[in-house]
Structures are given as structure tokens and as C-alpha cells.
Amino acid sequence: MRNRRNWGGGVTGLGAAMLIAWAAGCSGDGTPTDPGGGQGPGDEVVIPAEPFIGTASTITQVEIQQLVTDIAHDSTLGRRSPSPELNEVAEYIAGVFAAAGLTPAGDGGGYLQWFQARNSGDPLAPNVVGWIEGSDPELRDEFVVLSAHFDHLGGVDDGPGLDRIFNGADDNASGTAALLEVAGAMGAMGIAPKRSVVFLAASAEELGLRGSIYYLSHSPFPPVATVANVNFDMIGRGETNHVYLIRGTGSENAAIALAVADQHQELGLTPQDSLDDSFIRRSDSGAFVLDGIDALFFHSGLHAEYHEVSDEVELLNTLKIEKVAKLGYWVAVELAGRP
Ligand SMILES: [Zn+2]
């Protein structure tokens, strides 16, 4: 007997704490305070910049635990591209995007973007795409794309005692959960970053980045206007405070991301700067690199359960996923431009 998953249970409370924090940080009527000496004619009026009061506090280990449990559940049969179970998970992701307040950017006004993942005649497979329009009139036509693939290798449910389901808990329920949590946090910011931010949950990554390649050639957001990609793939294993920040030659965003990590010592997370032109192409970040886009790839390392049926939720370090998601949120806000 399979356990029942709890579709939708992971999204309760998304954003609420952040909205409260946002409201508490606002200055009320926005009137600049008088510096004390009065201002005569000709004095320059200096309006202090409203401090950015974003917070990553809506990103929690509890929600991440629920998300990875749902996405990597046996009943999703390893999320093969294409399959009915992959489509179910896509709808689940779309529900989280909707709860986060993302605008749909898929086919026909919905979140799902359908494409041929294998051979002509096979059923189509979906990406899930949503976005937040930037708040700056000059910069909102530039895009930062956050990505994670949610497909995996499939499998067969043979019943109790046998396990031939590739759950893909680390690969890549972990990164998908981070993407969804960042969407929730950014949707609750109160004011969007300057540039637009696109959230891409890609499928058919395991077939050769086919979902992200399709996205780049068919999305309403042109690659030429895409200034950054931040990709999460396998971020849930290994030491809690360590993560690889993989980048390609010439990446300028990596230095920004490392500076952001330095600013957020509260996370206790130390990204390891990893220049690797080969490895960055092993996940959806590679599709962006091929299009000349500066891409970053958060990754916690390969392990004995990589692409095995033993890549199970029980082995995940969900506190680490929370930390990487929070860092990803702050990096995305910086790359998109603090409002
Ligand atoms: Zn992967």
C-alpha cells in the first residue's frame, strides 16, 4: 500500500510572515524626516532611500520537507518525461506558483508550456513557467530566470518489498522545492525587484536539457534580454553549510553571488566558488550558457545514490535546502535589482 501524498499541503502560510515583516518595515506615509535644522530656500532636500525590507523568512525547512515529500513520492513514479505522473507534479507546481502570486507564462494563459520531449507521436511533456514583472520601467524588460528541473528517470511500482522507482529526491525534488520557496518569498516582497524574474520548473532535463532548451527558444522572454540564470539541481545532500557555486568562464554574476553570501552570515552557508565549464552544462544552466547567458548553478555534489532508486527523501538534508534556497533568494533579488 502506498502512502497518500498531501498535494498542496506545502504551500499553506507561504508569504504571510513576509507580508507582516514588510508592513512593519515601511515608513508609514513615506515623509522624509526633518534632519533637525530646518530647510531654508535653496537647501538641498535629501530624501533618504527607503531601505529594502525583503526577508527570506517565509522559506522554511517545514515547507521544504512537505514539498520534497510530495514531489518525490512513490506515487509520482519517478516523474518520467513524458508521463501522467509528471503532468500531475506539473499541476502541483502550477498550484504553488499561483499561491505565490506569479503571473502564468505558459501556453494559453496557463503555467504549463508543452513540448515534444522524446519522439514525434509521443505525448508532450510540460515545463511550468511563471513570472513577476519588474518594478522599474527601464529595467523590467530584462529578465532573471530561476530554474530547477522536476523530471527524473521514471520507474515501476512493484508493490511492497520491491523498489524500482527512481524517486529523485535529491535529483531534483530538492532544487524544485527551493525554486518554489523562492517564488513564495519573492511573491510576498510587496514591491517587485527592478528587473522581471521568471521561474522555470523544467522537465526532460534528464533527456538532455530538453525542457530548458525549449523554454529558451519558445518563451515570451527573449534570451537576448535575459541577464542571468540561477539554477538549482541536487542541493540536498552533504555538509549543511557547504554548497558548490558552479559557474562558467567569464561569469560576472558569480562574484555578486559570493558577495551576497558574505552579507548573509546569518545563513552560515559557505558557497565554494567552482569554475567548471563542463559541469555547468550537466544541468539546465547549460542551456542558458549555450545561449550566452551568465548562469550560476547551486549544487551539493554527486553521491552513491545519484541516478539510483535509493535517492530517497529520507536521505535529504532539508535544513541545507532551506539555506541554499534563502541564499538563492537573496542572490536573485540582487541580480534583479533591489527595489
Ligand atoms: Zn538533476
Cis peptide before 82 (omega within 30 of 0): yes
Ligand 1 mean position, distance from CA 280 (Å): 11
- Whether residue 204 is contained in a domain is answered as yes
- Whether residue 38 is contained in a domain is answered as no
Domain coverage including residue 111: 60-336
Ligand 1 mean position, distance from CA 236 (Å): 11
Q: What is the mean pLDDT of residues 230-250?
A: 98
Instruction: Give CA–CA dist 128/106, Å, rounded.
Output: 7
* CB within 8 Å of 37: residues ≥ 6 apart: none
What CATH code is carried by the domain that includes residue 260? 3.40.630.10
Ligand 1 mean position, distance from CA 168 (Å): 8
Cross-strand bridge partners of residue 112: 128
Q: What cell does 89 get?
A: 507534479
- Whether residue 112 is contained in a domain is answered as yes
Cis peptide before 6 (omega within 30 of 0): no
pLDDT digits (tens, 9 = 90+) for 193-235: 999 999 999 999 999 999 999 999 998 999 999 999 999 999 9
Compute and round to an integer the Cα radius of gyration of the chain.
Answer: 20
Can you give the pLDDT at residue 164?
93
Amino acid at 281: R
Q: Which of the residue ranges 34-43, 250-259, 264-273, 274-283 would you say has the lowest mean pLDDT?
A: 34-43
Positions of E strands within 116-219: 125-132, 143-149, 155-156, 164-165, 196-202
Confidence at 312, pLDDT banded by 50, 70, 90? very high
pLDDT digits (tens, 9 = 90+) for 128-185: 999 999 999 999 999 999 999 999 999 998 877 788 999 999 999 999 999 999 999 9
How much of the chain exceeds pLDDT 90, in percent?
80
Query: Based on the structure, what is the number of domains in the chain?
Result: 1
Ligand 1 mean position, distance from CA 283 (Å): 6
- Whether residue 214 is contained in a domain is answered as yes
Mean pLDDT of the chain: 87
- Whether residue 20 is contained in a domain is answered as no
- Whether residue 174 is contained in a domain is answered as yes
Crossing angle between the packed helical segments 84-100 and 175-187, to the nearest 10 degrees = 30
Can you give the pLDDT at residue 190?
85
- Output the CA torsion sign for 59, 65, 66, 68: positive
Can you give the pLDDT at residue 45?
67
Q: What is the mean pLDDT of residues 257-265?
A: 95
- State whether residue 67 is helix, strand or coil: helix
Ligand 1 mean position, distance from CA 338 (Å): 30
Residue of 16 and 152 predicted with greater confidence: 152
Whether 207 and 214 have beta carbons less than 8 Å apart is answered as no
Burial of 122 (0-12, 13-18, 19+ CB in 10 A): exposed
Q: What cell does 70 get?
A: 510530495
pLDDT digits (tens, 9 = 90+) for 58-100: 999 999 999 999 999 999 999 999 999 999 999 999 999 999 9
Ligand 1 mean position, distance from CA 149 (Å): 7
DSSP letter at 32 equals: P
- Whether residue 44 is contained in a domain is answered as no
Residue of 7 and 111 predicted with greater confidence: 111
Q: What cell does 220 get?
A: 515570451
Q: How many CB atoms lie within 10 A of CB 179?
A: 30
- Whether residue 191 is contained in a domain is answered as yes
pLDDT at 306 over 70: yes
Ligand 1 mean position, distance from CA 169 (Å): 10
Ligand 1 mean position, distance from CA 234 (Å): 6
